[in-house]
């Protein structure tokens, strides 16, 4: 690819796509990002990067997005959409391939899963291979990179590994933890993706990419425990099926049980590199698992990950209400005056959630998160990307940041299981250089009678919690102004979420 070749990047809000975007921008590559919710992405990109609205499931939206594009990265999947994910991915690949061919795109680069079709593939891996085949058949030269387990700060596999080993001194492990794999560091995946765009024009093909070491999930657990200085006892058991494993993972890791079911089902398939052409063709020298885990831990220990799997818009399904009308918005709003400037108040507001807690009734929040996990939602285990700052598209436990206006507004959209749509909004208005008003507003669009029943049944509890949260914000601001950010907030005592 010449430096002037325009790149279209799909999946830029996701884990791998977000990492690739940063490197493309650092190397001054012209980039256009396709996003279903451009407002989530615009705050993350440089001024030279174009963000356009579109959806790979909407062929009409792809036409303008692919106009003038030299290389198109296909880094999206529909795993969060439930049982229909394979159908959605199939349709997305057909749409993208056809639109790329019509637009004269010179190359498609696709990141899939490392597997060998022996007739017993999991639905997830079979879908990954099918998407690659559809893109290669589109008539546009396609580079398909098939990756094993990706290890990096914020990756789904690493967060699952970290949560298991950190939280469980004694682990009963099913057979799938002994399946051979060739984990690859996120930095190496990004390097392969970058170099795929620089291959001679017209070159396509399938390339298997893995790290230097062939290991198992059990080996990864032991290496992680060694680097963290943890003693863990691992007891193998033969009875944990993928379905039971996914439910268990949903309770002890940030992984949703539904997504976990498809991923764990895929772990039974070995992901070992059989064709070692990729390192020779691309010139990449992949890292081993020890270095990959060490690099991931550096970022985790700093409580920072550039991108995370849960920040992807596709990590949760879009709301589908079966034709029920969402309307008659219900509002619960209250305000309080704080003797502090607006910037100090907003600094406390945007630290809400994650390890900082919710400023009131954290036990109640944890109970709500546990119920959400049982219902198939994310619960509170996603945490937040950064303990102090938020940007549109970030996850905050079971919420997603919908809008941020510095020192003025924070709006969170609920992603827990609800009979409707919900938002939690904070607005800060300066009264003077030393005084501000902070307004907290809960909004709910009920879906039919079930939504109305939910709102009014829980309204007394919501009133107590939201009122306490506003008092907690005020108390935290006043103590922060005195230099103490660790003060407990008023209300129900508990540890941070």
Here the CATH number for the domain that contains residue 437 is: 3.30.530.20
Residue 1 lies inside a defined structural domain of this protein: no
Q: Are 295 and 324 in the same domain?
A: no
Quick check: 487 pLDDT over 80?
Answer: no
Give domain status of residue 493, yes or no: no
- Quote the pLDDT of residue 37: 82
Terminal Cα-to-Cα distance of the chain (whole angstroms): 47
CA distance 171 to 165: 8
Task: Give the structural domain span for 465.
Answer: 319-481
Phi, psi of 290 (to 5 degrees): -60, -45
Domain boundary among 313, 346, 374: 313
Structural domain tally of the chain? 2
Q: State whether 303 and 330 are in the same domain.
A: no
Any domain includes 496: no
**pLDDT beyond 80 at 236:** no
Q: Are 196 and 324 in the same domain?
A: no
DSSP characters over 202-263: T--EEEEE--S--EEHHHHHHHHHHHHT---EEEE-S---HHHHHHHHHHHSSS-HHHHHHH
pLDDT score for 176: 74
What does each C-alpha distance from 287 to 210, 222, 291 come to in angstroms? Answer: 9, 18, 6
Q: Are 468 and 338 in contact (CB under 8 A)?
A: no
Q: Please identify, among 270, 298, 313, the residue that sits at the C-terminal boundary of a domain.
A: 313
**Same-domain status, 230 and 94:** yes
Measured between alpha carbons, how far is 100 from 199 in angstroms, rounded to an integer? 18
482, burial (CB in 10 Å: exposed 0-12, middle 13-18, buried 19+) = exposed
pLDDT of residue 320: 39
Share of the chain above pLDDT 90, in %: 49
> Is pTM beyond 0.75 here?
no
Lowest mean pLDDT among 94-98, 160-164, 458-462: 160-164
pLDDT of residue 301: 55
pLDDT band at 131 (very low <50, low <70, confident <90, very high): very high
Res 235: pLDDT: 82
Q: Please, which residues have CB within 8 angstroms of residue 51's CB and are 6 or more apart in sequence?
A: 32, 33, 35, 38, 41, 42, 45
- Of the pLDDT bands very low, low, confident and very high (cuts 50, 70, 90), residue 306 is low
Residues 138 and 284 in one domain: yes
155 within 8 A of 187, measured Cβ to Cβ: no
Last residue of some domain: 313, 339, 370?
313
Name, in order, each residue with C-beta under 8 angstroms of 265's C-beta and a sequence gap of 6 or more: 122, 123, 124, 242, 246
CATH number at residue 73: 3.40.50.720
Shared-domain flag, residues 287 and 381: no
> Same structural domain for residues 37 and 150?
yes
Residue 493: pLDDT over 50: no
- Note whether residue 489 is domain-resident: no
pLDDT at 447: 77
CA–CA dist 422, 446 (Å, integer): 8
Residue 173 inside a domain? The answer is yes
């Amino acid at each position: 690819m010449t430096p002037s070749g325009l790149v279209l990047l799909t999946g830029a809000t996701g884990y791998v796509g977000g990492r690739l975007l940063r490197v493309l921008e650092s190397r001054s590559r012209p980039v256009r990002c396709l996003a279903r919710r451009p407002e989530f992405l615009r705050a993350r990109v440089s001024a030279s990067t174009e963000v356009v609205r579109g959806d790979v499931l909407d062929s009409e939206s792809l036409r303008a997005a692919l106009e003038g594009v030299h290389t198109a990265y296909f880094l999206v999947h529909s795993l969060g959409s439930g049982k229909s994910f394979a159908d959605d991915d199939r349709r997305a690949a057909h749409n993208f391939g056809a639109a790329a061919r019509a637009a004269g795109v010179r190359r498609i680069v696709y990141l899939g899963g490392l597997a060998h079709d022996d007739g017993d593939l999991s639905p997830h891996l079979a879908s990954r291979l099918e998407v690659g085949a559809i893109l290669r058949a589109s008539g546009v030269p396609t580079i398909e990179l098939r990756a094993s387990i990706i290890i990096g700060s914020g990756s789904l596999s690493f967060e699952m590994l970290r949560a298991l080993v950190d939280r469980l001194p004694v682990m009963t492990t099913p057979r799938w933890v002994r399946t051979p794999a060739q984990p690859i560091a996120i930095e190496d995946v990004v390097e392969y993706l970058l170099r795929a765009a620089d291959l001679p024009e017209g070159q396509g093909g399938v390339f298997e990419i893995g790290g230097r070491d062939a290991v198992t999930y059990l080996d990864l657990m032991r290496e992680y425990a060694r680097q963290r200085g943890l003693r863990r006892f691992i007891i193998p058991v033969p009875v944990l099926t993928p379905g039971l494993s996914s439910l268990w993972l949903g309770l002890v890791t940030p992984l949703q049980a539904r997504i976990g079911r498809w991923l764990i089902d895929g772990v039974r398939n070995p992901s070992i590199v059989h064709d070692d052409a990729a390192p020779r063709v691309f010139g990449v020298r992949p890292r081993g698992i020890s270095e990959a885990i060490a690099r991931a831990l550096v970022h985790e220990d700093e409580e920072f990950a550039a991108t995370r799997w849960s920040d992807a818009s596709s990590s949760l399904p879009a709301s589908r209400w079966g034709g029920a009308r969402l309307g008659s918005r219900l509002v619960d709003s209250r305000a309080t005056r704080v003797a502090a400037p607006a910037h100090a108040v907003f600094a406390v507001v945007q630290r809400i959630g994650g390890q900082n807690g919710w400023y009131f009734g954290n036990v109640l929040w944890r109970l709500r998160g546990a119920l959400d996990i049982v219902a198939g939602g994310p619960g509170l285990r996603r945490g937040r990307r950064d303990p102090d700052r938020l940007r549109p598209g970030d996850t905050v436990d079971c919420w997603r940041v919908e809008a941020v206006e510095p020192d003025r507004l924070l709006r969170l959209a609920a992603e827990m299981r609800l009979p409707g749509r919900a938002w939690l909004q904070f607005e800060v208005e300066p009264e003077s250089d030393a005084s501000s008003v902070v307004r907290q507003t809960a909004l709910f669009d009920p879906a039919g009678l079930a939504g109305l029943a939910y709102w009014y049944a829980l309204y007394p509890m919501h009133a107590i919690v939201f009122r306490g949260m506003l008092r907690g914000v005020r108390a935290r601001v006043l103590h922060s102004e005195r230099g103490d950010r660790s003060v407990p907030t008023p209300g129900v005592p508990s540890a941070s979420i």
